[in-house]
Amino acid sequence: MNARAEDPGLWKDQDAAQQVMRERNRLQTAITGYETLVRELGDNIELIELGESEGDPDIVSEAEDALCVLAERARKLELETMLSGEADGNDCFVEIHAGAGGTESQDWASMLRRLYLRWADSHEYKTEMVEESLGEEAGIKSGVLRISGLNAYGWLKMESGVHRLVRISPFDSNSRRHTSFASVWVYPMVDESIEVEIKDKDLRVDTYRASGAGGQHVNKTDSAVRITHMPTGIVVQCQNQRSQHKNRATAMSMLRSRLYELELQKREADIAAQEADKKEIGWGHQIRSYVLQPYQMVKDLRTGVETSNTSAVLDGDIDQFLSSALAAQVTGGNNT
């Protein structure tokens, strides 16, 4: 890969060159992570031997603590090797829809969007707001984020499903407990190297005025674009750009990604149908409960992993859920 990257002829095709550089960086990151782990393992073993020979328990204790940290890093690196699906290394779209329940569910959808933005920020991923439909009083009816970074789709793909919130409603003057639902759908951003056939005759393109803030231009022109793929019923929309042309290009990119994800789901369904012991994973299935009242608990209903630190989870600390769901998917069973 280094030799290919140094070939001046490679850069005649910018898309191909960028793909080579992404793969090179992915491999280099994996190799460096492994080599660093091996080196630090050896260093700490030597420290333990030194501490034991000199009768210094503090050195031994410090090195043992470091080994515990290394064990966690090794577990994460092992999980990353499982991100070997066709699109696992790609950027992704995170689409959030409020369920029935009006303001309550719309506020919950907004909280989920914040959760994923915080998670992306903590992993130094880039984020972009692609589409947003605001609620009448608070929150959002729907929203689409693009999260960019190595293995973004691989880590987040198991987040698709229904997320349930139980809390004392801040919108209820009687302070009653409410249950709210929101749906999350994660699908990969596909590059030009992946062919997805889309026929013009299968598309219905509608333009409309953007509903969010954006200045006079956005409010007075039909810059927002909605595209319906009639054979599948898939609908995508984008309104974050002032230009209708740019919004259409983004919407088409989202449509290509959705159609690609649909094909991946069909393949997974075919495989799952052959293995009776596997649970079906599909759109509309509740995957996680976030209970804030009468007790504090976030529980993943697929793996059984739970935590009482609800504030940290709502602030984006979901790695334990992502890791366990990914491991369970790979092993085909519960990974509590």
**Which residue type does 6 have?**
E
pLDDT for 119: 97
Task: Say what the pLDDT of residue 288 is.
Answer: 95
Q: Measured between alpha carbons, how far is 292 from 167 in angstroms, rounded to an integer?
A: 5
Q: What was the pLDDT predicted at 44?
A: 95
112 SS3 class: helix
pLDDT tens for the chain, 336 residues: list them. Answer: 888 888 888 888 877 787 788 788 878 888 898 999 999 999 999 999 999 999 999 999 999 999 999 998 898 888 777 787 778 888 999 999 998 778 899 999 999 999 999 999 999 999 999 888 888 888 999 999 999 988 899 999 999 989 999 998 888 777 788 889 999 999 888 765 566 778 888 888 888 877 655 444 444 567 888 889 988 888 888 887 777 888 888 888 888 888 888 877 776 665 455 443 333 333 346 899 999 988 999 999 999 999 999 999 999 999 999 988 888 876 665 444
Residue 42 structure tokens: 């050896």
Contact by Cβ (8 Å): 212, 132:
yes
Looking at residue 284, its pLDDT comes to: 46
Q: Is 158 exposed, middle or buried (0-12, 13-18, 19+ CB in 10 A)?
A: buried
CA pseudo-torsion sign 12, 15, 16, 22: positive
What is the DSSP secondary structure assignment for residue 189, as one 8-state letter?
A: P
Amino acid at 179: T
What sign for the dihedral angle of Cα 321, 324, 330, 331? Answer: negative
